[in-house]
Amino acid sequence: MEHEERNEGRSPRLMHDELPKEHEDPLIRRLHLVIRFAIKILAVLMVLVIIWGVLDVVYVLYSRFMAPPVMLFEVSDIFVIFGAFMVVLIAVEIFINIRLYLGTNILPIRLVIATALMAIARKVIILDTEIVTAEEMLAIAAVVLALGVTHWLVGK
């Protein structure tokens, strides 16, 4: 069922004007329906990825917890665990992006930027400073700064 958004004093707008269910060209109308269906399939697949990711977190926790020394984590283990958690959280953010895309007429730019920030934060958290070059560190810092400033500007 198509949702409508009422603007004060204006006529209702259908969700996602760029993929309307009504279009004068029957081929384009059908293609829009196919694309909307494909996005719904992506949402279902993302839920499966999230479930798989949660199972992976459980596996990582169990395997690290049972590895000698039993019931103790080393610092490297904690980084692996944090990385597994962050991947699931990023998948949840991507699912929310898909859901918002399907359910509203607003492109969630701030949420997309926040998702990118979370992804780069994951990279920073699990970063092995012994392997990463200075150039790569500077590039990561530039991406974090650019995304942070963008997130702040979009929020204003």
Which DSSP helix (H) or strand (E) runs through 14?
A: strand 13-14
pLDDT band at 101; cut points 50, 70, 90: confident
Q: What is the mean pLDDT of residues 39-53?
A: 95
Predicted local confidence at residue 41, as pLDDT: 95
Helix intervals (H) in the chain: 26-66, 75-103, 109-125, 134-155
Q: What is the mean pLDDT of the chain?
A: 84
pLDDT band at 33; cut points 50, 70, 90: confident
Query: Which region, left, alpha or beta, applies to residue 68 given φ > 0 means left and ψ of -120 to 50 means alpha?
Result: beta
Q: What is the mean pLDDT of residues 87-95?
A: 93
- Answer whether 26's CB lies under 8 Å from 33's CB: no
The domains of the chain are located at 1-7+14-107, 108-156
Predicted TM-score of the model (pTM): 0.74
pLDDT band at 119; cut points 50, 70, 90: very high
Predicted local confidence at residue 1, as pLDDT: 38
Rounded to whole angstroms, how far apart are CA atoms 106 and 144?
25
pLDDT band at 15; cut points 50, 70, 90: low
